[in-house]
Structures are given as structure tokens and as C-alpha cells.
A and B are shown apart, each in its own frame.
Chain A
């Protein structure tokens, strides 16, 4: 029983932290403004993929749906598109988790990069397909690289917190 309570408490903490990442005005890239305005790493995606790769039970699918629909609404993105793409990627990671989880950290990192790249490529191509203002490829790539650099922070800290239970 206490295990169950602990589990739901963990889920709650992680969910509120992800909400925090979604709304908090964190902008570590503000210092090189001559090159890019408003280029933030997507820390929310980092967190969620780190959880899904290491311990998917801590983040149920419906919470992923909820948080990304919120993200689409708040961040003025096309409603539903990014959410759907991330959802597919997340469920794939969840499905093959038994094999993924045992791999070393570098493979995890690579899987994250792979997922995010696939999502972004699909995102841009759907933009083009629906004749929406097409995003600049350079900026998307920059954001992708930036986000990938921030991934180890989340993955390793999560591994650190989970090491007792493993």
C-alpha cells in the first residue's frame, strides 16, 4: 500500500515539475542574442524522455497528452500537432522500454536525439504539407542541438535518484 502511495506521489512530483518547466521563463540562451532571439532548449521534452527511457511507469500516457496539449495551447503552436508527434514517439519508447532500459547512457542519449529529430522532421514536413508558414531549418536545428545538450542533465540526475531502486 505504501509503495502505491509513494508511486503516485512520485508521479505527482514529476508532473508538477514538468508543468513548472513548461511555464517558467527559463532562458539560458539569452546571452547570445546577436545570433538568435528566443531560442530556448526544450527542457520539458528532455525531462519526459528521460523519464520514459529510464522508468516509464512514473509518467503515464494521459499525463503526457495533458501536458503537451497544454504546451501547444500556451506556446501558440498549432493545437494538437506537436502533441500527437511526441505522443507517438513516447509510446514507441515505452513499448520497447524493456530492452532500452538496460542499455548504457550513451545509447539513451542517442535514442533521445533520434526521437527528437524524427519528431522535428515530421513537424516541419506537416507544416509544408498544410501550406503553413515554414519554419527556418537553421533555427530548428539549433534548438534541436541545444535541447540535446541539456538531455544528460535530466537523464543522469534521474538515474542518480533511481539508483537505489534499480
Chain B
């Protein structure tokens, strides 16, 4: 009898505990929904603390997957070699062309007396966690505000734009990929110089919106950041245009989202203008 009553009291205690935990969790969620920026700051602080703890755990897997990947490369060595040789031949032609263009460019620049804009500096970080689910396309890198990152800095891999920094800790930062549904980037389409907005939709290929003359666009056109809005520097390669089944204009990013490992975060140097608006040509009368 005594045992039974003890049991039932335990049970009621359990239920109270259960309901309390549930309410706590749901209120956390609602707090997150209402005061998103502040909870995100707390989140990045927690990740800051956890990252060094988790790093050793992920390390062995990373090493073994690298070994596997290397093995794959070895197995297709001869085929790769042939491909590379063919590519190399093509590249020799391009190299010749590039040298010529560079010389020409230097000549023209000397003629025009062009001053180049302040160059970008960058920091390189390694992706340590990937959100890896269909809802949030983002990753966490192991560099943060200590390394001079700012919210909104552009992240690129070797080839093209990956996304932007959104959420900053001291030694870690979250990079929101351009494929995420909440990402929108002002871009310019190169041969026709049309502007548009690249909007992610959680699929591998973000869509291109607000383009004025869609008839001028060809598939294969290159898309660069336009630098509008002063968040990204201009002229970072994003990807190539193609049209999907529903005739929607999409962009295939050149960044390799399947194995992102190192990201380069651009740090825009603050520009020092030595002129004021009055000094500009045609502004004397204002």
C-alpha cells in the first residue's frame, strides 16, 4: 500500500516536472521569436564557449573523411590526369590572352592615371559546424569579432560569394549562405549590366528577382555583386544564370556548397575620402 502511494506521488511529481519543462521550453521559443537579436547574441556567446570543447570531437571524423576523399581521388587518377592535360592546353591559350590583356590594361591605366580603390583585406576561417537541415542554410566559422569581422561582411570561398556574416561572437561567427530563404543580395548581371536582387529559397539555386528586361538575359550570363546598399563590395563573382523548368531565372553559385571548408571573410577597409561634395565637378553651384 505504502509502496503504491509512493509510486503515485512520484508519478504526479513527474507530471508536474514534465509540464514545467514544457512551459519553460515553449517560453524560450516565444522569447526567441519576440526578441530575436538579443537571444541570437546569447546563442553566439554559448557557441563561443562550446566550440573549443567540441572541436576535438569532430576532428577524427574530419580526418577520416579527408582520407576517404583522397582515396577517391587516387582511384580516378588516370582519368583526372587526362582531363587535366586537356584543360591545361586550353589554359595555355587563356594564359597568353591574360598576359596580353594585363599589359594592355597597364598601358591604359597609365594613360588614364587611375588610382585604385582601397584594397580589401581578408581573414580566412574554417567552417566548424554546418546547420545541415532544410530550414536554415548557414554555417559557423572559427573566427569572430577578435579577427575584425563585422556583421554583414561578405564570405567567399576560393571562387565566389558564399554568403554574409550574420551573428557574431568573439571567436566564432555564423555565416548565412546565399541559398538561405532570408538572404537577399543586390547583384549585377554582367554583359547587359542589369541590376537585380538574388534571393535564396533554401534550394541550391537562388532566384533572381526585380530584373528590368528579362528578355536580354541569356543562360550562362555571369552574376556579380553590385555593391549597392554598401553591405558587400562590388564585383564579387556569384554565379551563372540558368532558367529552370518554370522559366524562372535562377543562379547556379560558383561557390562549392557541397564541401565548404575554408571561408575567406572580406574586411572592407574604411575609405578615407580627401574630397567633399563641393569639390566634385559640377557641384560648385549648389
Contacts and interface: CB of A to CB of B under 8 A. Distances in A.
Contacts of A26: 61
A23 B54 CA distance: 7
A21 B137 CA distance: 19
- The range of chain B's interface size is 35 or more
Contacts of A65: 21, 25
Nearest to A31: B258
A76 B136 contact: yes
Contact of A25 (B62, B136, B138, B258): B62
A39 B46 CA distance: 25
Contacts of B219: none
Contact of B202 (A24, A75, A88, A139): A139
A100 interface: no
Nearest to B29: A80
Contacts of A84: 22, 25-26, 29
B137 A37 contact: yes
B206 to A, nearest CB: 11
- The range of chain A's interface size is 35 or more
B47 A38 contact: no
Interface string B172-203: 00100001011000000000000000000111
Contacts of A70: 50
B84 to A, nearest CB: 22
Greatest chain B CB density within 10 A among A25, A39, A87, A143 is at A25
B107 interface: no
A39 B28 CA distance: 27
B132 A38 contact: yes
Interface in B234-286: 257-259
B124 interface: no
Contact of B32 (A34, A78, A136): A78
What 3 pairs between A and B have smallest CB-CB spacing? A139-B134, A80-B28, A84-B25
8 contacts: A25-B58, A69-B25, A74-B54, A76-B174, A77-B131, A77-B136, A81-B25, A142-B134
Interface of B: 18, 21-22, 24-29, 32-33, 39, 43, 46-47, 50, 54, 57-58, 61-62, 65, 129-138, 140, 174, 179, 181-182, 201-204, 257-259
Interface of A: 19-20, 23-27, 30, 33-34, 36-40, 42, 65, 69-70, 73-81, 83-84, 87-88, 91, 127, 130, 132-133, 135-136, 139-140, 142-143
